[in-house]
Amino acid sequence: MTRRERAAYVDRRLAELYPETPIPLDHRDPYSLLVAVVLSAQCTDKRVNEVTPHLWALADNPAGMARVPVTKIQEVIRPCGLSPKKSKAVSELSRLISERHGGAVPRTFDELEALPGVGHKTASVVMSQAWGVPAFPVDTHIHRLAKRWKLSDGRSVEQTERDLKKLFPEAHWNQLHLRIIFYGREHCTARGCDGTVCEICRTLFPARKRTLRR
C-alpha cells in the first residue's frame, strides 16, 4: 500500500470501529474543557475526570477561579501531577480570560496559545472540540501510531501533525484524531502491540517481520 492508501484504510476502518466520538474529558463548557485539557498533560483522562468535580466546587468560571488562592487549586489538583505549574496556569489563564476576553474562552489559536499553560496541542483540542474548528491535536498515541503505520516519519509532533493534515480530509480531522486515540488506547497500545499484533497493523503490513516498540 502507498501512504495514501494506508491513510484511506485507517480513516475508513476507524470510522467503522468508532462511529461515535465522545470527548474523553468531562466538561460543561469551553472553559471547563480548557482547564481539563491543561490538567491532562502527563496525566490520564480518567484521573482528570476524578479531580475536576472537586475543582469546580471551588469555582466553575474564570472570574471565580481567579479569586481562588493558587495554593488551594494546587491542593485539589495534586493527583494530576505537576500541580505547582498547573495550578499557576489555571489561576493565571482564568484571570486573563476574565480580564481580557470578557470571561469567554478565546476562539482563535493565537489568543488561546497566549494563555499560560496552553500550547498548540491544548489550543487544537479546544478549537476542535469546543468550537468545531478543524484541527488535528497530536498526542502520544497519535504520534506513535502515525509512525507505526508509516503515515509520518515521526521526527517530531509538529511534523506528524503536518503529515496527517495532508493525508486526511479536513472534514474528518476532529473525529479522526479522537478515533486514533481510542484505537491506540484499546488495541494498538505501546506495550500490547509491537506493530504486528493489532488488526490495523496486520492489515497494513502483513509481511512485516521486524517488530516496532514505538
Distance CA 199, CA 178 (A): 18
Assess contact for 96 and 116: CB atoms under 8 A: yes
Q: Is 121 a catalytic residue?
A: yes
The Cα 124–Cα 90 span in angstroms is 18
Report CA-CA distances (Å) from 15 to 21, 54, 74, 121, 176. Answer: 9, 35, 39, 23, 8
Q: What is Dmax (Cα atoms) for the chain? A: 59
Active-site residue identified among 26, 45, 60, 139:
139
77: nearest Cα among 40, 23, 108: 40
Q: In the annotation, is 194 catalytic?
A: no
Active-site residues, by number, are: 121, 139
